[in-house]
Structure 1
Amino acid sequence: MAPLDGFPGQRFRVLPAPLTAHALRTGLTSRLLVTDVGYFPRARGHLMTRPGGTSTSIVIVCQDGAGQVWFGGRTYRVNAGDAVVIPKNEPHRYSSDDEHPWTIGWFHADGLDVPELTQAALGPGRVPVAPLRDAYTAWNLVDRVIAALERDETEASLLAAAGAAWNLFAQIASERRLGPAGTTERVHIAQDYLRKNLADAPSVSELARLAGLSTSHFASVFRRSAGMGVLEYIKRLRNSRARELLVATDLPIAEVGRSVGYSDPFYFSRQFHSINGTSPSDFRAHYRQQEPRPGTSDPEPGADRIPRSG
Structure 2
Amino acid sequence: MNSVINIPRKIKTGFFGQRMTVLPPNIKKNVIKNDLINRFYLTDMGFYPHAVNHYRERKMGCHQHILLYCIEGRGTVNVQGSALELAPNAFVIIPRNVPHCYKSSEEDPWSIYWVHFTGEAADQLTSRYYQNRNNLLYIPYDEKRIRDFEEIFSLLENSFDDKVLEIANIKLLNYISSFIYFKEIDPAYQEDDVISASIAFMKRNLSRMFTLEQLARQQHLSVSQYARLFKTKTGSSPSQYFNQLKIQKSCQYLYFSNRNIKEICVELGFQDPYYFSRLFKKLMGKSPASYKNQHKKS
Do they superpose with TM above 0.5?
yes
Distance 1:88 1:102 in 2: 23
| 1:133 and 2:140 correspond | yes
TM-score by length of 1: 0.53
| 1:110 and 2:118 correspond | yes
Find the residue that maps to 2:115 and give its secondary structure.
strand
Match of 1:119 in 2: 127
| 1:170 and 2:171 correspond | no
What is the correspondence of 1:247-262 to structure 2 with a 5 Å cutoff?
A: none
Q: Deviations over 1:85-117 (max 9, x none)?
A: 111111111111111111111111122211011
Q: Shift of the alpha carbon at 1:52?
A: 0.9
| 1:142 and 2:162 correspond | no
Question: Match of 1:153, as an amino acid?
Answer: F
Distance 1:175 1:12 in 2: 26
Match of 1:234 in 2: none
What is the correspondence of 1:32-181 to structure 2 with a 5 Å cutoff?
A: 32-125=40-133, 127-175=134-182, 181=189
Which protein shows a greater Rg?
Answer: 1
The alpha-carbon distance between structure 1 residues 176 and 123, as it changes in their structure 2 partners (threshold 3 A), is: farther
Distance 1:122 1:140 in 2: 26
**C-alpha RMSD of the superposition:** 2.5
Gaps of 5+ in 2: 1-11, 194-298
TM-score by length of 2: 0.56
Match of 1:7 in 2: 15
Distance 2:139 2:171 in 1: 16
Distance 1:24 1:124 in 2: 30
Find the residue that maps to 1:30 and give its secondary structure.
coil
Q: Shift of the alpha carbon at 1:21?
A: 2.1
The alpha-carbon distance between structure 1 residues 119 and 138, as it changes in their structure 2 partners (threshold 3 A), is: farther
Question: Match of 2:155, as an amino acid?
Answer: A
Say whether the 8 Å CA contact 2:183–2:189 is kept in structure 1: no
Distance 1:111 1:58 in 2: 12
Distance 1:180 1:54 in 2: 36
Find the residue that maps to 2:114 and give its secondary structure.
strand
Say whether the 8 Å CA contact 1:68–1:97 is kept in structure 2: yes
The alpha-carbon distance between structure 1 residues 97 and 135, as it changes in their structure 2 partners (threshold 3 A), is: farther
Find the residue that maps to 1:158 and give its secondary structure.
helix
Distance 2:167 2:64 in 1: 19
The alpha-carbon distance between structure 1 residues 57 and 179, as it changes in their structure 2 partners (threshold 3 A), is: farther
Question: Match of 2:95, as an amino acid?
Answer: P
The alpha-carbon distance between structure 1 residues 183 and 70, as it changes in their structure 2 partners (threshold 3 A), is: closer
Question: Match of 2:40, as an amino acid?
Answer: L
Q: Deviations over 1:47-93 (max 9, x none)?
A: 11011111111112212111111013210111111122111111111
Question: Match of 2:100, as an amino acid?
Answer: H
Match of 1:21 in 2: 29
The alpha-carbon distance between structure 1 residues 72 and 130, as it changes in their structure 2 partners (threshold 3 A), is: same
The alpha-carbon distance between structure 1 residues 97 and 129, as it changes in their structure 2 partners (threshold 3 A), is: same
Q: Deviations over 1:112-140 (max 9, x none)?
A: 21101111123343x33221124433323
Residue identity (%): 25
The alpha-carbon distance between structure 1 residues 72 and 181, as it changes in their structure 2 partners (threshold 3 A), is: farther
The alpha-carbon distance between structure 1 residues 134 and 167, as it changes in their structure 2 partners (threshold 3 A), is: farther
Question: Match of 2:101, as an amino acid?
Answer: R
- Using CA pairs under 8 Å that are at least 6 residues apart, name the structure with larger relative contact order, 1 or 2: 2
The alpha-carbon distance between structure 1 residues 143 and 60, as it changes in their structure 2 partners (threshold 3 A), is: farther
Q: Shift of the alpha carbon at 1:16?
A: 0.9
Find the residue that maps to 1:101 and give its secondary structure.
coil
Say whether the 8 Å CA contact 1:71–1:128 is kept in structure 2: no
Say whether the 8 Å CA contact 1:51–1:92 is kept in structure 2: yes
Paired residue total: 182
Q: Shift of the alpha carbon at 1:183?
A: 5.7
The alpha-carbon distance between structure 1 residues 145 and 106, as it changes in their structure 2 partners (threshold 3 A), is: farther
Say whether the 8 Å CA contact 1:122–1:128 is kept in structure 2: yes
Gaps of 5+ in 1: 186-310
